[in-house]
Structure 1
Amino acid sequence: MFQQMYPSINHHFAYELNKDFNFSAAHYIPSEDAGKCMRTHGHTYFVNLTIVGDSLDQNGFLVNFSELKQLVHGQFDHQLLNELPAFRDVSPSTEMVARTIYEIVQDHLKQRDNHPKCAQVFVRETPTSYVKYRPEEFRNG
């Protein structure tokens, strides 16, 4: 994976963890005004998760990198996103993919004793197009 810098987030936490990974998936946008994106097509999505917190777990981790990868890669890789339960009622646009990844990751983090938070999800759909999703508490620094 290539080295890339992502937009910074202002926060007051002691630790900031970033995890990069990718997955390959197909989708289509079920709307006439989506143009050619209305047809099924695929991407290699590049994802960066930003996790923040003040406390580490018993292993000295904010969260284990492999947990984060499994949460997303394990669910999305080599899937038709439109068929996944997370997109049953919404279009799997890149914006919704980013928000859905946030929800999956944050739900997992809430169960951890050290209470880390997902501050940003960055999803690159193509070499020239990406989306950032930040929950409300991280939108205004």
Structure 2
Amino acid sequence: MMQQIYPAPAHSYRYELNKDFQFAAAHYVPHEEAGACRRLHGHTYFANITVVGDELNESGFLVNFQDIKNLIHKRFDHTVLNEDSLFDDMDPNHFPTTEAVARKFWEVIQESLNKLPNQPRCLQVFLRETPTSYVVFRPRKEDFQ
């Protein structure tokens, strides 16, 4: 994987963990304005997940790097995103656009983090769909409620 520089979210937490990984997936965007993206096609996505917190867990980790990767990679690698229950071809907020995929990944990750006693937070999902196109999703404070 190529070394990349990601935009850094501002925060005052003691620890910041970043996990890079890639996965292959296909999708289509079910809307007339999507042009050629209306047809099924695939990407090798690159993701960077930023997790922050003030306390380490009983193993000395903020979060285990592998746990972050597994939440996304095991579920989405070599799949058709449209077929996952997170996405809906009838609701534009749930089409598998890069924007929505980044948001959905945040939801999956944060739901898992909410179960941890040290309460880490996912502050950013960087998702590169092609070498020249990427999205950054950052939740608002109220999203953590």
TM-score interval for Structure 1 and Structure 2 normalised by the shorter chain: over 0.9
Report the CA distance between 1:96 and its aligned residue: 0.5
Structure 2 equivalent of residue 116 of structure 1 = 120
Q: Report the secondary structure of 2:11's partner residue.
A: coil
RMSD: 1.1
Residues 1:3 and 2:3 aligned together: yes
> What's 1:136 paired with?
140
What secondary structure is seen at the aligned counterpart in 1 of 2:49? strand
Letter of the structure 2 residue corresponding to residue 81 of structure 1: L
Give the counterpart letter for 1:17 in structure 2.
Answer: L
Which secondary structure state, in structure 2, belongs to the residue aligned with residue 86 of structure 1? coil
Q: How many residues align?
A: 138
Q: Match for residue 93 of structure 1? A: 97
Structure 1 residue 27 displacement after superposition = 0.3
How high is the TM-score relative to the length of structure 1?
A: 0.96
Q: Which runs of 5+ in 1 are unaligned?
A: none
Q: Which string of whole-angstrom CA distances, capped at 9 and with x for unpartnered residues, describes residues 32-85 of structure 1?
A: 111000000000000000000000001110000010010000111000001100
Q: What's the % identity of the aligned pairs? A: 57
In structure 2, how many angstroms separate the alpha carbons of the residues matched to 1:137 and 1:45? 27
Q: Secondary structure at the match of 2:123?
A: strand
Letter in 2 for 1:136: R
Question: 1:79 corresponds to which letter in structure 2?
Answer: T
